[in-house]
């Protein structure tokens, strides 16, 4: 909800603000103050979820090579190798309406999948 207006009828002040033109410095100041308000209103769990969601969205936009480079340059080759080793044995098996993901030999997770 925008401060200073109701859902149905915007206030006169809000309409006046909409008609204003802001320069780049003013927009930067508005953004800075709004970000501060948003951050101040979050608890640590909200911040964690926000950062996790933002990073996931950012990394999903990368292709395979860009993602691997990102991991390697943000951490190191050993971290990249560890992550790759954690997922390299992840297998996908199809059997009619059930998808089974194999983790380690002898360990599976099965659930129904609707087509």
What average pLDDT does the segment 17-28 reach?
Answer: 84
C-alpha 99/C-alpha 91 separation (Å) is 10
Query: Which residues lie closer than 8 Å to 76 by C-beta, 6 or more apart?
Result: none
C-alpha 14/C-alpha 2 separation (Å) is 9
Q: Which structure tokens are listed for 55? A: 């990073």
C-alpha 110/C-alpha 100 separation (Å) is 5
Task: Please indicate whether residue 98 or residue 45 has the higher confidence score (pLDDT).
Answer: 45
Q: Is the Cβ–Cβ distance between 102 and 89 less than 8 Å? A: yes
Which is nearest to 3 in space by CA: 29, 26, 42, 37?
37
Residue 98's pLDDT is 60
Q: Which structure tokens are listed for 101? A: 């993901």
What average pLDDT does the chain have?
80
pTM of the model: 0.54
Q: Which structure tokens are listed for 34? A: 């709004």
C-alpha 115/C-alpha 100 separation (Å) is 15
pLDDT tens for residues 70-108?
A: 999 999 999 999 998 888 766 655 555 665 565 666 776
Q: Which structure tokens are listed for 37? A: 């308000």
Count of CB atoms within 10 A of residue 71's CB?
A: 19
């Amino acid at each position: 909800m925008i401060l200073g207006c109701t859902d149905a009828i915007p206030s006169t002040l809000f309409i006046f603000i909409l008609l204003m033109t802001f320069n780049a410095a003013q927009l930067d100041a508005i953004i800075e103050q709004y970000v501060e308000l948003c951050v101040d209103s979050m608890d640590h769990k909200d911040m964690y979820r926000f950062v996790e969601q933002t990073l996931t969205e950012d990394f999903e936009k990368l292709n395979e090579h860009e993602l691997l480079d990102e991991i390697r340059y943000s951490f190191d080759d050993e971290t990249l190798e560890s992550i790759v080793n954690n997922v390299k044995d992840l297998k996908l098996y199809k059997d009619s309406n059930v998808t089974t993901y194999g983790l380690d030999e002898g360990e599976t997770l099965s659930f129904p999948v609707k087509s």
